[in-house]
Amino acid sequence: MTRLLVVDDSALIRRLFGELFSDTGGFEIAFARNGVEALQQIEAFQPDVVTLDVHMPEMDGLACLDQIMLLRPCPVVMVSAMTEAGADVTLEAMVLGAVDFVPKPGGAISLKMDALGPLLVEKVRAAATARPPKAYRLAERLRRRNGERKPAGMALPQPSERPAPLPRPGPFDGLVLVGTSTGGPPALDALLGWLPADFPCPILVAQHMPATFTGPLSRRLDKLCALTVVEVTRPTPLAPGHVYIGKGDADLIVGSRPSGLVALPAPSKAEYRWHPSVDRLVSTAMDHVAAERLIGILMTGMGNDGAASMTELREKGGRTIAESEETAVVWGMPGELVRAGGADWVEPLDEIAGRLLELVG
């Protein structure tokens, strides 16, 4: 039985969420109307997972989340407005330690619950099994409060001893393909924040997110990283030192023009369950670039998106890195890659950038 705490100032939302999880079965449910009540319930109810509204009286969602992560860390799923302002707040919540988010239904709420319900149940169940990296989040939060992006003098983390990569005649001149989902934004911070502005090849990222969130995510990463980060909303030529984020609710694919390779937004296809699709990104990259010029990185996320295509990439001569179970918030996607035998290296989050720099020479 999973203990779920639903925190929302709307009595209707509390009732609808309560009915949804009661009808689903396997949940013991408690409720709170604001952050103050939530902190009391955290101590009394000891929940396995929390759904947390952002805008509440007395203590809002961000302040409550901050206290949860300091006093009794547990998986939290934010219930967020589907607006750009809501996206900025949600990304802030994920930096503070939230595992995932779901859209808050608006308008005729009871009618929209039929569509939202399965997604909410899936995300709460995944969050209940998550292992948030508590110490990492705490350190990041303290740095942010001190106005620092990285601690002064911190050296780039070095990868642990693994078999050496195949020798290359010169700097790597291909593409890096990154896939992530649940827990992905902080993982992208950790990966991209260590890479230099003169990184020698383009990086393409498929992060499962709605369309209203990928623009704010791109802008946030662009401020945090030495690399230039953009959301792909139109055909965009690929260049070294740039990161290309797939637009949410669509797919990111690789194409070719007479002038060179481009990143393209593409309407989502029903054959791919998650979007932007990691499998579709990797498959289209292999259509235009030799496998040995591709590096695939699969990080935290529920499901199996990217596992099949990156396994194929490795079989054809490409290189692949999976985030290890010890640091992944949800070891779904990278775990499936490892189980399929498709990972050349299995690295904790803080060593993936070092391994990547080693591979690109």
Catalytic position from the list 181, 218, 309, 324: 181
Cβ burial 228-240 (10 Å sphere, 16+ → b, else e): ebbbbeeebebeb
Amino acid code (one letter) for 150: K
Domain boundaries, the chain: 2-136, 175-360
Which residues contact residue 270 at a Cβ distance below 8 angstroms, ignoring those fewer than 6 apart? Answer: none
* pLDDT given for residue 148 in this prediction: 47
- Domain 2-136 class in CATH: alpha beta
Continuous segment of H or E residues that includes residue 84: helix 84-96
* pLDDT given for residue 161 in this prediction: 42
* pLDDT given for residue 139 in this prediction: 52
Catalytic position from the list 8, 53, 251, 305: 305
Continuous segment of H or E residues that includes residue 228: strand 228-232
* pLDDT given for residue 85 in this prediction: 78
User: Which pair of structure tokens corresponds to residue 3?
Assistant: 């203990």
User: Which pair of structure tokens corresponds to residue 202?
Assistant: 């383009």
305 catalytic residue (yes or no): yes
Cβ burial 191-227 (10 Å sphere, 16+ → b, else e): bbbbbeeebbbbbbbbbbbebbbbbbbbbbbbebbeb
Catalytic position from the list 100, 208, 277, 324: 208
What fold characterizes domain 175-360? Answer: Rossmann fold (3.40.50)
110 catalytic residue (yes or no): no
Residues β-bridged to residue 51: 6, 77
Instruction: Let me know if the fold of 2-136 is the same as that of 175-360.
Output: yes
208 catalytic residue (yes or no): yes
Crossing angle for the helix pair 61-71 and 134-145, nearest 10 degrees?
130
**Are 97 and 70 spatial neighbours (Cβ–Cβ below 8 Å)?**
no
Full pLDDT tens readout for the chain, 361 residues: 999 999 999 999 999 999 999 999 999 999 999 999 999 999 999 999 999 999 899 999 999 999 999 889 999 999 987 777 788 999 999 989 999 998 887 666 666 788 889 999 999 999 998 876 554 445 554 555 555 444 333 344 444 444 444 444 456 789 999 999 999 999 999 999 999 999 999 999 999 999 999 999 999 999 999 999 999 999 999 999 999 999 999 999 999 999 999 999 999 998 999 999 999 999 999 999 999 999 999 999 999 999 999 999 999 999 999 999 999 999 999 999 999 999 999 999 999 999 999 999 8
